[in-house]
Structure 1
Amino acid sequence: MKISNKEFDVNGLTYTIRSSIKTDAKHLSELRLQIDGETDNLDRERGEAFIDVSGFEQLINTDTISTRNLFLVAVADERIVGFSRCEGTYLKRFSHKVEFGVGVLKDFWGYGIGKNLLKESIAWADSNDIKKITLNVLETNTKATELYKRHGFEIEGILRNDKILSNGEYYNTIVMGRFNDSE
């Protein structure tokens, strides 16, 4: 699906959050690769599960026409600096929920980009009869966990020793969900 563009000005940085478009594919492929190499908070190490330009074009096309998916980008200084995706399914037993994921370039942390991508995704979900948003977060990413809690997410479980990071240590994954039962 698509949303209307929203502009934000946070700590002196002006950026726009908008739906992804086909011409974003090249930048998204490069951006995802860079973000994966900047943090241990994501599932992938740099270069793993690489998505090329045509792969992103397919994702963008699918997400644009699907009523259960949303692919957003954050644009600052005329370049994409972050993105988020909500991905749903057409299986009837899970049709009420989507899974949320987000990534922001490290140089752009602290400008509320991740928070605003989350808020726009929640607003979209709430206005499109999506009752539940789920996500996974690394146990050491306390800033993200607290952000999600402030926006109505609750811890639903912990996956013990779920990830092994570059330091050779095992870490837990926190499973979180936000359920909107208001009518």
Structure 2
Amino acid sequence: MQVRKIKDSDAKSYLKLCETIDEESEFMLFEPGERKLHAQRQIKQIESGMCEVFVCAADDGSLIGYVAAAKGQVQRARHRAHVVIGIRQAYIGQGIGVKLFQALEKWACEEKIHRLELTVMTHNTAAVRLYKKTGFIIEGTKKHALKVKGQYVDEYVMSKLINEQQREVSNE
């Protein structure tokens, strides 16, 4: 298993991975078939430097998970990045999430990102446990933030601050 930055040649496999995770999980923002990303547009987002994606590849080379971070677009928000993670159902609980977050945090330190933030459905206990394990804290709850299968769902807003000590360790 290998965690690495996404490459141009991964574009179609990455899009397929996202679509597969959308089908396997009720916890993703997109419902099955709703994702409208095109491989070329995804590559342009990454090439712009405003988005970074790390993928986890299985031993056979197939993509099994990803973490993506989008930097703040305006000057006052460039110190933060919004994070999205997805892992194929068959690979959950195998430490992939921790490895993806380690790669993301190293990138955040290099890019001088001070704040990582994400949202998660409150009943997604496995994800909340992963986020807490990797240093995220719950900042608050967004009531009725999403509507899933006709039911309103609350989301936690979670964040992790990257301090100077972490940057120094990362750069060694």
Common fold: TM-score over 0.5: yes
Measure, in 2, the Cα distance between the counterparts of 1:115 and 1:60: 25
* Aligned equivalent of 1:40: 26
SS for the counterpart of 1:59 is helix
* Aligned equivalent of 1:178: 160
Structure 2: any 5+ residue segments left out of the alignment? Answer: 166-172
- Cα displacement string for residues 42-76 of structure 1 (whole angstroms, at most 9, x for unaligned residues): 1111011322xxx333323432451x431111110
1:49 aligns with 2:39: no
> Which is richer in helix?
2
Measure, in 1, the Cα distance between the counterparts of 2:125 and 2:111: 29
SS for the counterpart of 1:31 is helix
Bigger mean CA deviation after superposition, 104-113 or 128-137: 104-113
* Aligned equivalent of 1:30: 16
| 4+ residue runs over 4 A deviation | none
Q: TM-score, normalised by structure 2?
A: 0.88
The number of residue pairs the alignment matches comes to: 164
Identity %: 27
Kindly indicate whether the alpha-carbon contact (under 8 Å) linking 1:22 and 1:61 is maintained by their aligned counterparts in 2: no
Structure 1: any 5+ residue segments left out of the alignment? Answer: 1-14
Kindly indicate whether the alpha-carbon contact (under 8 Å) linking 1:75 and 1:82 is maintained by their aligned counterparts in 2: yes
- Cα displacement string for residues 100-124 of structure 1 (whole angstroms, at most 9, x for unaligned residues): 1011111111221122111210121
Q: TM-score, normalised by structure 1?
A: 0.83
Kindly indicate whether the alpha-carbon contact (under 8 Å) linking 2:22 and 2:28 is maintained by their aligned counterparts in 1: yes
1:92 aligns with 2:75: yes
- RMSD of aligned residue pairs (Cα, Å): 1.6
Measure, in 2, the Cα distance between the counterparts of 1:156 and 1:113: 25
Kindly report which structure 2 residues correspond to 1:97-136, keeping only aligned pairs within 5 A, or say none: 97-136=80-119
SS for the counterpart of 2:123 is coil
